[in-house]
Structure formats: structure tokens, C-alpha cells
Structure 1
């Protein structure tokens, strides 16, 4: 029984952290969401702070952008073992946001500040489903703050760099395979905040002609550490308390580096076409170790392999200036999963993803405009054993509907 409890606990913790590393929320700009989240090789306004700091040096006006999305996701599960158990996650709506501000120091030098949420989700499976000993609920949030400088070397080349300051939090709950004093299963909850982590975002933007532009952007790996996260138990029987004296945990999570290359094509003054390819270094996430202040299920630590693969994201988008005040957009992308067979978990039932998007912008004046976007994500149905990650054997299917709105003010 002791070894079974330990295996379940270790696998769950590692899977929860995979949510932060293996599940990426690409919702950094309402305008760019409408274009398939392209933006590395074109000028995107204040959101160049995220997509390519080198392009920020070409801004003609000071500006502030505030935006948010409503992430509505659905995840279903079907057992492939000896039962016909099914479940659907009851996920609340999440609201990832972005805030950007850019200012001119002089004609060539620009300064900016960005705040955005590249990771974050909540999944609620409940305490009655087939995998409740792996997970009943997980909430994750990560926040990035990025002060940035950008300099226009020539009329055709701009460079930029930003310091990323990252922080976050995680809350995980699950049931224990025991019988509590009241006859119900005990529960365990892990709650922790990450120490501040640091990274950088650098970019080069090149526009050789009025019709063509290209860019390269690199966001570095960031290691987030949780120290003295709280472990609490509910309904634990007296006979099992000796196995669970641990009250705090610590762990380290690598958030992988991303290298993006993008091109822009402007066939006419009204059209902009963009394409991006991103390489995400998920192979940095090979394993995680969790250390406890006192033993949990008889062990002072737990460790599990993850062995993620590097992955690519392919994006395509277009924007059309219908009138002086109205712009319309559309885009698509394909995102390869980094999760190998045998490592799928109910926290992140990841698979290859396809996204379709659309968006509009309307300018009410020279200073004020509104962006609106909609993104549909469809992850391929995937059956997996989860044998190497402490996951739950079965078939998972995920879709998401993500409307968003943004406000822009130039001065």
C-alpha cells in the first residue's frame, strides 16, 4: 500500500507541473490571435514587446494596449481498461490577459513594458471519476513582466531586448486510495507559489522593401522554483498519519526556450500576410524531483521521468484593411505535441493541435481603436497508457473556444 500511494503521489505532482511546461497558452495579442498568432516578421504595434522587440523601434506613436481572452475548454475521457467509465472535466472560464505600453525616447530608441500570462489553466475532474487518485482539480497561473528597449539601427533593421521577470502559483487536489474515518476517501492538496525567475526576449527585425519583412525572436528558458509549498490532508485516518508527516514540498520547473522565425508580405497597401515557425525546446523537461520536509508515503522525495520532445508550431495569418477604420483578419496554426506515448496525463491530455482564428479591428478615432478575436482549438483524440508518468490509461479529447477583446490608445 505504501508503494502504491507513493507512486500515485509522485506521478500526480509531476503531471501537474507538466501543465506549466507542456501546455502553452498562446494568447499574447488580440490582433495577432486573429492572424493565427503570427507576428515575428511584421510590425504588430505595442505587442512587438512579445512577438519581436526589434520591431518596436518602428512605432510611430506612443501607445498602450489592454486585452483579455475568455478561455472556455472542454475535455472528455473514456477508459480503455476493463471498464466503460467516462468523464468530462468541469473547467471554469479562465481570462488570460495582456498589457503593453511603448514610448519614444527619441526617433530611433523606444522603451516598453509588457505584462502577460503565457501559462495558466484550471481543470476540474471531480472526486468520483476513474482517475480521481491521479487528479481531482488543478489550478495553475503564471505571469510574465517584460521591460524592453528597441533601437532602429538603420531604416531597414531594428533590434530589441527585454528582461523577463516570471512568477506563478499552483494548486493541486486529488483523492487518496484509502478509507477515511467517515467512510469517504481522504484528500490531499498541494499549494505553492514560485520564486521569481528571470529570462530574456531578444529580436531582430529586417524590412528590405515595402513588400517584404522578416524577423527572428528568441525567448529564453526560465527555471521556476517552488520552495516550502504547503501540503495539507483532509479526512485522513489515524492509521495512515504516520505515512504522511510531510507538510511542505519544493520543486523546480524549466519553462523551455522558444525560437521563432517569421516573414511578412504586403502585396498591396491593404493586405498583410504573415507566416511564423517556432521551435520550442521542450526537451529541457526530462524529469522533475520533489523534495519533502518530512517523508510522504515513507519517502523523502519523489521523482519521475517526462522525456518531452522538442516541438514545432506552424502559423499562417492575413489582415485586410477594408476601410480606413476597419480591419479584418484570419489565421490558422498547427502545433505538434511534445508529449511522447506513455506520458499523457489528465492534467494535460495533450496531442497535436489545430487552431483556426478570426478577428477585426475598428478605429473610432486616430487615437482609440478596439480589437476583437476568436480562436478555436481542436486537439486530436489520443489514447495512451500514461504508464511512465503516473497518468490514467484512456482516451482523451480536448477542444477550446476563446473569444477576446483588446483596447488600444495612441498618443
Structure 2
């Protein structure tokens, strides 16, 4: 029995790997917040002419007369393929995620002051589900993230050419992670280890929209960093018989606490109308992802002999840029065609890349249409997200990852 504690060191490493997966893969800049903006590659900070400006640039709602609603949903179809150095490969299970967006804005029958309220997913909804017998199973079977924000904003027309918007928002996020634990060294089948936690935090956003000429506009928007305190539970099931004295049986549960740092984002861009029915837009986004430097998880019940202790995991994410280009061609007042391109840097270094967050550089291509009739508008878009194949050699899991994501979205607007 004296050899068992030495074997338990392996469990400590397994706890490390699961915590590494607990972040999942949050995304900023994904086309989730409105079909018109998404169809233009989300190059919208200097356009901001529908209620989704609450997300992209809150100053934009000051330029809209009357009361508007704009609601919809985006369907996300992600797929990831992992290939080991030995040639064994596995694809994630088919899943579709449906983050919604809901906006209301009004100038409240004034000329200079507007109010807006948005509900949306700032860092995405989704995750990866691997087969229980996948070569990734001892690192990840499941990793998911869900985020929702409630964001009231105010905007004023400081001058006829300059609008300013400011708001605050509450962000709620949920993270889950699950993996299998190899207990063959103890002569037992695999155990199941899972983490789940959720919580919320507060932040603010602001924006400026300047139109020096009728056919030219400049926009800048900032969304603050948020520290979300999450509480939840860790579970270990089907514990091998030699380990049960340490855990008090075949099943072990404990409460956990952790803080998740979501980055601050800075967007700036310009929109230009070379002719009356064409809008060209370009935008850059800076994400302060270096805030993802580490992950700390506190276990309410610690078992030092089994490696079940408070964890601090180095993530070492890096700051990253996103470049966006969009175009809109209005065939007539009621019909518009749109397209866009987005280049996305990855903030995830090779050292901490895993099956939970196999991110890489992206090239996104978008198309869409808009139709207006009376007080109604209907927008739709499609986005194909091409990820660069990525080979990594690290302590977590060496191999090659291939990713692709389809996005399909619809938004409906109404002007009162």
C-alpha cells in the first residue's frame, strides 16, 4: 500500500489537465450579435446604424429616430478533428448551438438623447464533445462555455456630427469540463472527472461615432475587462478500489471556486460611401487576451495524498488582433446585398493548446442580404470560418488539430 501515494501523483497531473480545459474557448469578434453586422464581417463600429450598435458601438443608437427592436438567433455548427502522432484520429460529435440576440432602442421623442437595452452572448455559446473512447479522452471528453450579457446603454448627440454612447453590463458565464481518468495502474476501468461552475460580473462599454461628412464616418468602441467569480462543483466517479480509502468511496464531490478573467476589447474603424448605394467598412479589434495568464481553482475539500488540492494553472494567452472588412450594396431602398472578410489571430500558445481550445488563425468569409418593407426589416447571413491546421507538441496532448465552423443567422427588426 505504500506505493499507492506515488501512483497518485498521476492523478495530480490529471487534475491539472482538466483544469486546463475548464476555460473552454471563449471567442470575441464572432458573428453572433446581428445578421446585418455579421454579413459585413462585423466591420460595424463605424456603421452602427441598427440596434445591434448596443454591442458594436453604443454611440450609434443616437443616430436612429423613433423606437426600434432587432431580434434574432445565430446557429453555430463547429467541427474539430484531432490526429495523434501515431495516425489515430477523431472528430467531435455533431452539435449545433443557438445564441440569441435581443435589442431595443429609442430616442424617447427627443433629438439628442437615446436609450438602448441589449441581451446577447459576448463571448459565445458552444463547446466540443468528443467520443468517450477518443484519443483525447484522458484530456477532454467535453468542454463548454455559455455567456450572456444584459447591457443598458445611453447615447447623446454631442454635436450634429458627433455621437457618444456609454453603458454598463452584467455578464453571466457557465463553464463545464469533463474527462476520463486512466486507472489501469490500479487494475480498474476509467473514472469520470468533471467540473462545472457559473457566476457573474460587471463591466462597462462606451463608443464614439463621428460623421464629418455625409459619406464618411469614424467609430471607436471599448468594452471593459470583467472578472467573473464562479462557484460550482467537482465530481470524481467510479474511483478504483485501492483509491477509495482516500476519497471515502467510489464517488467524490466537492465545491469549487474560481475567477474567470474576460478581456477588454478595443475596436476602431472607418466607413465610406464611394457612391450613394455602396458602403465600404474596415475595422480593427484588439483583444487583451494576455489577461488569461493563469487559472486558479480552489477545492473546498482537499486530498493532498491524491493530488486533489487547490490548483494554479499557467495559460499564458497572448494579446491578439482581428481585422475586418465589409461591403454593402443597396440595389434599391428595400433590398441590400452584403459581404465581408475577417482575419483572426489566435491568442492560444502552443504550450497550453489542448483538445478543449485547439484554436488557430482564422479566415472568415461572410455573405448576406437585407430586405425592408414598411416598418419591418429582415436580415440573414452565412459565415464560413476556415482555421489553419495546427500541429503542437506539448505535455498536454501532441498532435494535429483541424477546425471549421459554419454560422447561419437571422435577425428581424421593427420600427415603431
Q: TM-score of the superposition, structure 2-length normalised?
A: 0.93
The question of whether the paired residues in 2 share the 8 Å contact of 1:180 and 1:186 is answered with no
The partner residue of 1:213 within 206, 211, 217 is 217
The partner residue of 1:334 within 343, 349, 368 is 343
1:2 equivalent to 2:41? Answer no
Superposed counterparts of 1:5-154, under 5 Å? 5-20=11-26, 25-80=30-85, 83-105=86-108, 106-118=110-122, 119-154=124-159
Residue in structure 2 matched with residue 384 of structure 1 by the alignment: 392
SS in 2 for 1:9: helix
State the distance in 2 between where 1:65 and 1:10 align. Answer: 43
SS in 1 for 2:403: strand
The partner residue of 1:314 within 323, 332, 343 is 323
Distance 1:253 1:24, change over 3 A: farther
Residue in structure 1 matched with residue 165 of structure 2 by the alignment: 160
State the Cα distance separating 1:160 from its structure 2 match: 0.4
SS in 2 for 1:207: strand
State the distance in 1 between where 2:336 and 2:74 align. Answer: 19
Residue in structure 2 matched with residue 398 of structure 1 by the alignment: 403
State the Cα distance separating 1:246 from its structure 2 match: 5.1
The question of whether the paired residues in 1 share the 8 Å contact of 2:24 and 2:145 is answered with no
State the distance in 2 between where 1:12 and 1:276 align. Answer: 36
Distance 1:246 1:232, change over 3 A: closer
State the distance in 2 between where 1:403 and 1:43 align. Answer: 21
1:355 equivalent to 2:361? Answer no
- What 5-or-longer segments of structure 1 have no aligned partner? none
The question of whether the paired residues in 2 share the 8 Å contact of 1:64 and 1:408 is answered with yes
* 1:203-224 C-alpha deviation (Å, 9 max, x unpaired): 0110000111001100000111
State the distance in 2 between where 1:72 and 1:222 align. Answer: 27
1:232 equivalent to 2:241? Answer no
State the Cα distance separating 1:76 from its structure 2 match: 0.3
* 1:241-262 C-alpha deviation (Å, 9 max, x unpaired): 3444551111111000000001
1:345 equivalent to 2:351? Answer no
The partner residue of 1:197 within 180, 201, 210 is 201
Residue in structure 1 matched with residue 3 of structure 2 by the alignment: none
Residues paired across the two proteins, number: 402
Residue in structure 1 matched with residue 374 of structure 2 by the alignment: 366
State the distance in 2 between where 1:178 and 1:158 align. Answer: 62
1:267 equivalent to 2:267? Answer no
The question of whether the paired residues in 2 share the 8 Å contact of 1:289 and 1:302 is answered with yes
The question of whether the paired residues in 2 share the 8 Å contact of 1:179 and 1:186 is answered with no
State the Cα distance separating 1:24 from its structure 2 match: 6.1
Distance 1:232 1:268, change over 3 A: same
Distance 1:35 1:259, change over 3 A: same
Residue in structure 1 matched with residue 261 of structure 2 by the alignment: 254
SS in 2 for 1:263: strand
* 1:56-92 C-alpha deviation (Å, 9 max, x unpaired): 1010231001111110011001112xx2211101141
Distance 1:407 1:7, change over 3 A: same
Distance 1:41 1:24, change over 3 A: closer
State the distance in 1 between where 2:177 and 2:57 align. Answer: 35
Residue in structure 2 matched with residue 303 of structure 1 by the alignment: 312
Residue in structure 2 matched with residue 281 of structure 1 by the alignment: 288
The question of whether the paired residues in 1 share the 8 Å contact of 2:188 and 2:240 is answered with no
The question of whether the paired residues in 2 share the 8 Å contact of 1:179 and 1:185 is answered with yes
SS in 2 for 1:5: helix
The question of whether the paired residues in 2 share the 8 Å contact of 1:273 and 1:317 is answered with yes
Distance 1:290 1:65, change over 3 A: same
